[in-house]
Structure 1
Amino acid sequence: MDKSVEQKMIVFGTGEYALRLSDSIPGLVISYYVDNDRTKWGTEFNGKLIKKPSELLLEKADELLIIIAASHYLDISSQLKQMGFQESLHYISIKDLNRFGYFRLYEDGHYYSPYPLIEDIKERESELFDRSEKVLQGIDLNTNEQISLLHSIGNYFDEFPYLHELSSNNLRYSPNNLYLGLNDAICLYGVIRLYSPKRIIEVGSGYSSAVMLDTNSNFYNNNIKCTFIEPYPDRLLSLLHTESDHKGIISKRVQDVDLKIFDELEAGDILFIDSSHVSKIGSDVNKLIFEILPRLNKGVIIHFHDIFYPFEPLSDWVYEGRAWNETHILRAFLQYNESFKIKLWNHYLSLHHFDEYRKLLPQEIEPGGGSIWMEKC
């Protein structure tokens, strides 16, 4: 874009993209517009004259830069080539600007954009965020097994250490955080106590890691091998107590880790996932669901965080701009998939088996949470 400062700037197109172009690049000086619509020739757009394409031939090619600001930029590119202009030298398109972060091709809500239009979501709010119990096609919620597992881990709830203030100074996890509430923490604690894993791998880290390390030191004499794959470990580091806590940290993205490490997980071991929650090209979510989950050994216990029944995000989060789609990808992954089964989903149980859940939890903890636990079969 540096060279363009010295060139005459001409925009080919007089539609939505052309309007947004000026907003996207403040200070952009446009000499005039060009359009194939002959009814626009001689009129003005955005305060500048609209000319016919043939007038570009009157310009010195090396002294101008044409920006194609139209959705049919391939057709216009072909047209400009036939006129003798060279791509990248004499003209670029909005897709090139998009590549370098100057311009977004599609606004939120456009059918090509992964970001929803909030107004559309609000119009369908009662439908999209309906939490009533329903059949999820192709997915077995294993409700009876969930309740059975809840009872099994409930046998350990009396020893859950975080409700006793006197012991809090010796613990890494604190209930006073915005990332892992007591409901998710007690389920994590209970699953560890029930399965007594030899190894835990966590993708992501933080207060969940603190629960793992506390449970490991308090009940297993630190015999559980804990590994934390976390490219940004600042929060985790702030919670650690000893140098030995640091040994299991891999400060890399899961995309950059040798996947053989996941082959070491055996039946009863835990893969705890608290990802970016976003599926996109090259993302951690894609790596986890498409490459890591399928290679796991049978019997490995898997956790995903911030998954709410019925695989839809919280409305408040959507309205805040969190267009997280991991929950939808996970739902698609589980449909008609007999290799993985749901073991425990605390948000579902809190909605539709509240009384059963309530009587097992300590009085200080309300049913809720956003943890879904699964098993590789």
Structure 2
Amino acid sequence: MRLKRLVYGLSTICRIRELGYFIPYRYAAGADREALDYPWIKQLFSVNKKRSFIETLEKLTPYTEDLKKIKRHSSDPDEPRWGQDWFPGLDAAVAYGLVRARKPKQIIELGSGHSTRFLLRAIADGGLDTAVTCVDPAPRAVLPEQELELIKQPVQTVPLEKLPKLMAGDILLIDSSHIAMPGSDVDWVINNILPSLPKGALVHFHDIFLPDPYPAEWRWREYNEQISISALMAGGRVTPFFSSHFVRKYLSESVVKLGFDWIPLELNSFETSLWTEIAGNEFYKN
């Protein structure tokens, strides 16, 4: 991985081909990114949102038997499975449960893969009339395209009018590059898609460790999306109602008490779903 970073870095700095970002910052040596945390978010989650986090888990109860029917491993590429670390444990279970409980008419997913399989299983198990649109320039997984619309483009190149109009109760799942830079997909989503969403739309962010920093072993990825999401919560645009990372790390007794400790979790995998709800009306209509 270090060699790959070196090649990418030299290619970018030497202007051979842009494969990332280089940002000069004279105080970079003194920045301890692993020690950084967000105490106000920890208080928000621990005090203000603890009840809503637990209530979200409780909503899975009616679907426990259906969730248990999902195998740990499956040779069928269309089937969801627990034995993977891309969308593991609570991430998968809560996404499945929220689709069953909320019955959205539209789901837009930025990215695709194991998460998509759990969404489609929830729709099928619930007999729902839900349309799924995935925007992914390079899908890693084989998906049943007869069950969804797949747009193979970077989201920032997709005109807003080409995307389905989301209403209250509909779902936007965001699992993009996680790099908040001018012109990136994160920039486009936060400053174009999110302002157009109506009150009551659900927004899911993946690979979010708030209130903690990104893990040290992920430093090479240079993710910085959490900074933007923290600002969205501080400004009141989105209201969090579930965090897989927070629940697993700080409310693990609730997982056991509610009977969800059976959910398989691969060794060294990270549960990182952050579920939020749009708290105000759209700023503009697309």
TM range (shorter): 0.7 to 0.9
Assess, with a 3 A threshold, how the Cα gap between structure 1 residues 226 and 105 changes in structure 2: closer, same or farther: closer
Assess, with a 3 A threshold, how the Cα gap between structure 1 residues 364 and 333 changes in structure 2: closer, same or farther: closer
| Amino acid in structure 2 at the alignment position of 1:354 | S
Aligned length: 263
* 2:236 equivalent among 324, 335, 338: 338
| Whole-Å separation in 1 of the counterparts to 2:245 and 2:42 | 19
* 2:253 equivalent among 337, 355, 360: 355
| Amino acid in structure 1 at the alignment position of 2:246 | Y
| Whole-Å separation in 2 of the counterparts to 1:154 and 1:368 | 23
Conserved in 2, the CA contact under 8 Å of 1:308 and 1:348?
A: yes
Assess, with a 3 A threshold, how the Cα gap between structure 1 residues 294 and 165 changes in structure 2: closer, same or farther: closer
SS at match of 2:90: helix
| Whole-Å separation in 1 of the counterparts to 2:65 and 2:231 | 37
| Whole-Å separation in 2 of the counterparts to 1:198 and 1:111 | 46
Larger relative contact order (Cα-Cα within 8 Å, sequence gap ≥ 6): 2
Conserved in 1, the CA contact under 8 Å of 2:71 and 2:81?
A: no
| Whole-Å separation in 2 of the counterparts to 1:185 and 1:162 | 13
Give the superposition deviation at 1:99.
Answer: 4.3
CA RMSD, Structure 1 to Structure 2 (Å): 3.4
Task: Write the mapping of 1:69-148 to structure 2, written as runs, cut at 5 A.
Answer: 98-101=14-17, 111=25, 121=32, 125=34, 127-128=35-36, 134-136=39-41, 142-148=49-55
| Whole-Å separation in 2 of the counterparts to 1:253 and 1:270 | 19
* 2:224 equivalent among 318, 325, 336: 325
| Whole-Å separation in 1 of the counterparts to 2:250 and 2:138 | 37
Assess, with a 3 A threshold, how the Cα gap between structure 1 residues 338 and 120 changes in structure 2: closer, same or farther: closer
| Whole-Å separation in 1 of the counterparts to 2:186 and 2:22 | 23
Q: Which residue of the partner structure matches residue 105 of structure 2?
A: 198
Q: Which residue of the partner structure matches residue 365 of structure 1?
A: 264
Q: Which residue of the partner structure matches residue 219 of structure 1?
A: 126
Assess, with a 3 A threshold, how the Cα gap between structure 1 residues 160 and 171 changes in structure 2: closer, same or farther: farther
| Whole-Å separation in 1 of the counterparts to 2:124 and 2:75 | 14
Give the superposition deviation at 1:370.
Answer: 0.4
* 1:260 equivalent among 135, 157, 161: 161
| Whole-Å separation in 2 of the counterparts to 1:137 and 1:188 | 23
Give the superposition deviation at 1:368.
Answer: 6.4
Q: Which residue of the partner structure matches residue 376 of structure 1?
A: 278
Per-residue deviation, residues 19-71 of structure 1 (Å, max 9, x unmatched): xxxxx69xxxxxxxxxxxxxxxxxxxxxxxxxxxxxxxxxxxxxxxxxxxxxx
Give the superposition deviation at 1:156.
Answer: 1.9
Conserved in 2, the CA contact under 8 Å of 1:262 and 1:292?
A: no
Task: Write the mapping of 1:24-103 to structure 2, written as runs, cut at 5 A.
Answer: 98-101=14-17
Q: Which residue of the partner structure matches residue 37 of structure 1?
A: none
Give the superposition deviation at 1:194.
Answer: 1.1
Q: Which residue of the partner structure matches residue 303 of structure 1?
A: 204
Assess, with a 3 A threshold, how the Cα gap between structure 1 residues 171 and 313 changes in structure 2: closer, same or farther: same
Give the superposition deviation at 1:169.
Answer: 4.9
Per-residue deviation, residues 97-141 of structure 1 (Å, max 9, x unmatched): 744559x9968xx5269xx65x964xx75x33x69xx43399665
Q: Which residue of the partner structure matches residue 83 of structure 2?
A: 176
Q: Which residue of the partner structure matches residue 28 of structure 1?
A: none
Per-residue deviation, residues 160-180 of structure 1 (Å, max 9, x unmatched): 155447987595222232311
Assess, with a 3 A threshold, how the Cα gap between structure 1 residues 373 and 261 changes in structure 2: closer, same or farther: farther
Conserved in 2, the CA contact under 8 Å of 1:173 and 1:239?
A: no
Conserved in 1, the CA contact under 8 Å of 2:102 and 2:169?
A: yes
Conserved in 2, the CA contact under 8 Å of 1:262 and 1:296?
A: no
Per-residue deviation, residues 276-296 of structure 1 (Å, max 9, x unmatched): 111112100001111111110
Structure with max Cα Rg: 1
| Amino acid in structure 2 at the alignment position of 1:326 | E
Query: Is the aligned partner of 1:271 residue 2:172?
Result: yes
Q: Which residue of the partner structure matches residue 96 of structure 2?
A: 189
* TM-score of the superposed pair, with normalisation by structure 1: 0.61
SS at match of 1:197: coil
Listed as ranges, the gaps of 5+ residues in structure 2 are 1-9, 280-286
Give the superposition deviation at 1:306.
Answer: 0.5
Q: Which residue of the partner structure matches residue 30 of structure 1?
A: none
Q: Which residue of the partner structure matches residue 71 of structure 1?
A: none
Listed as ranges, the gaps of 5+ residues in structure 1 are 1-23, 26-94
